[in-house]
Amino acid sequence: MDVGFIWDEDKYREVQRKHKVQFYEVVSAFDDPKGYETLDPQGHEDRWMRVRATVNGRVLAVICSEEDMPLNRLITAFDAKGEYLNGYD
């Protein structure tokens, strides 16, 4: 099954501005076989946090939902640094 990615345009522009993250980086991070995933630390039951390296070696935390499978709905993405992992913004 092919898996795709969707992102709300307004939210994507905000993530680009605030975290300097590009769509291709986020998609490439899903190919990292050594990535880590857990339920969303903010408690959203239908969301996951995936911490993975991009094609360029940048380590991102990606919050996404699988509710629309085979599409991953991307919520936000940012550099995986300790201050964001528990209370991301």
Please give the structure tokens belonging to residue 29. Answer: 């991070």
Q: Report the distance separating Cα 41 and Cα 45, nearest Å.
A: 10
Give residue 87's pLDDT. 53
71 versus 56: which is more confidently predicted?
A: 56
| Furthest C-alpha separation in the chain | 35
Contact yes or no for 24/88 (Cβ under 8 A): no
Q: Please, what are the domains in the chain?
A: 4-85 (3.10.450.530)
Q: Which residue, 2, 3, 1, 7, is CA-closest to 73?
A: 7
Question: Is residue 33 predicted with pLDDT exceeding 60?
Answer: yes
Residue of 1, 51, 45 lying closest to 26 (CA atoms) = 51
Q: What mean pLDDT is predicted for residues 52-65?
A: 93
pTM of the prediction? Answer: 0.82
Closest CA to 2 of 48, 71, 73: 71
Q: What pLDDT shows up at residue 40? A: 81
